[in-house]
């Protein structure tokens, strides 16, 4: 099955929040999925329960063992920096080809595989590669999470453009946007007609069909 890659228009945009809701809804509907977050920075072992890796594992119903944590996030860095900077700070190597190879080895053939990137779509996920590069190397279907704020249209259209227009877009509506999320969604659909634009306001069941994407 073709993997899905969850990325965002920027950092702290709600990727993990949306993905956890989607995983929980899929599991509640009787489905199974594999979730991978190959690279994570800001991972403090003393506060592991607060990390995105553990949140994703909980949402997916995975046992919280050290072995399973390694199977979800093999590259974990303590500094809360972009992964390339965090790797340099810890004097560790993080080449994109190793991340690609690891992901290819862990993509399931039997159930949906959801891969969460680090930061925005154009953020470095390795010392020599961006999230965008990883998406392309894995031939993954991009799911782009965007915020609902003044300026999100420009940020989101820029991200859609680098993804060649073919992606799912999820506006993460926290209910505090200056413009209603539905209006921003309509604007995005007008200027990016090939993108599949949705609004997420807490009900992830409206996103479940995204897990059935197996081709371009």
Task: Look at residue 177 and tell me whether its pLDDT is greater than 80.
Answer: no
- Alpha helices (H) along the chain: 15-28, 52-60, 66-72, 83-89, 96-106, 131-138, 152-162, 181-191
Residue 181 included in any domain:
yes
CATH number of the structural domain spanning residue 108 = 3.40.50.300
Residue 189 included in any domain:
yes
Boundaries of domain holding 77: 4-207
Per DSSP bridges, beta strands 129-130 and 124-126 are: antiparallel
Q: Could you report the per-residue pLDDT of 78-98, keeping only the tens digit for each? A: 999 999 999 999 999 999 999
Residue 108 included in any domain:
yes
Residue 215 included in any domain:
no
Q: Could you report the per-residue pLDDT of 8-24, keeping only the tens digit for each? A: 999 999 999 999 999 99
Cα–Cα distances (Å) from 213 to 5, 82, 153, in that order, read 11, 29, 25
37 an active-site residue? yes
Catalytic residue among 15, 17, 34, 37: 37
Residue 61 included in any domain:
yes
The percent of residues in the chain predicted with pLDDT above 70, rounded, is: 98
What is the C-alpha to C-alpha distance for residues 173 and 196, in angstroms, rounded to an integer? Answer: 16
CB atoms within 10 A of CB 158: 14
- The number of domains in the chain is 1
pLDDT band at 178 (very low <50, low <70, confident <90, very high): confident
Q: Region 47-69: what's the mean pLDDT? A: 96
What is the C-alpha to C-alpha distance for residues 50 and 69, in angstroms, rounded to an integer? Answer: 13
Closest CA to 12 of 111, 89, 80, 109: 80
Task: Look at residue 47 and tell me whether its pLDDT is greater than 60.
Answer: yes
Q: Decide: residue 176, CB within 10 A, 0-12 exposed, 13-18 middle, 19+ buried.
A: exposed
Residue 136 included in any domain:
yes
Residue 70 included in any domain:
yes
**pLDDT reported for residue 215:** 43
Residue 214 included in any domain:
no
Q: Region 28-47: what's the mean pLDDT? A: 96
């Amino acid at each position: 099955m073709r993997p899905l890659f969850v990325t965002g228009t920027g950092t702290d945009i709600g990727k993990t929040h949306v993905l956890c809701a989607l995983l929980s809804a899929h599991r509640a509907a009787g489905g199974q999925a594999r979730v991978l977050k190959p690279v994570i920075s800001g991972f403090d072992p003393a506060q592991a329960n607060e990390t995105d890796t553990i949140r994703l594992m909980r949402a997916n119903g995975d046992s919280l063992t050290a072995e399973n944590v390694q199977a979800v996030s093999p590259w974990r860095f303590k500094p809360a920096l972009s992964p390339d900077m965090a790797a340099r700070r810890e004097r560790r190597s993080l080449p994109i080809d190793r991340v690609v190879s690891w992901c290819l080895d862990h993509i399931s053939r039997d159930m949906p595989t959801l891969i969460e990137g680090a930061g925005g779509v154009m953020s470095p996920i390795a010392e020599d590669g961006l999230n965008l590069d990883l998406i392309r190397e894995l031939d993954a279907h991009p799911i782009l999470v965007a915020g609902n704020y003044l300026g999100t249209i420009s940020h989101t259209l820029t991200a859609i453009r680098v993804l060649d227009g073919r992606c799912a877009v999820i506006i993460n509506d926290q209910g505090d946007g200056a413009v209603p999320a539905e209006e921003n969604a309509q604007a995005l659909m007008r200027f990016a007609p090939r993108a599949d634009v949705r609004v997420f306001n807490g009900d992830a069941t409206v996103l479940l069909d995204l897990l059935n994407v197996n081709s371009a």
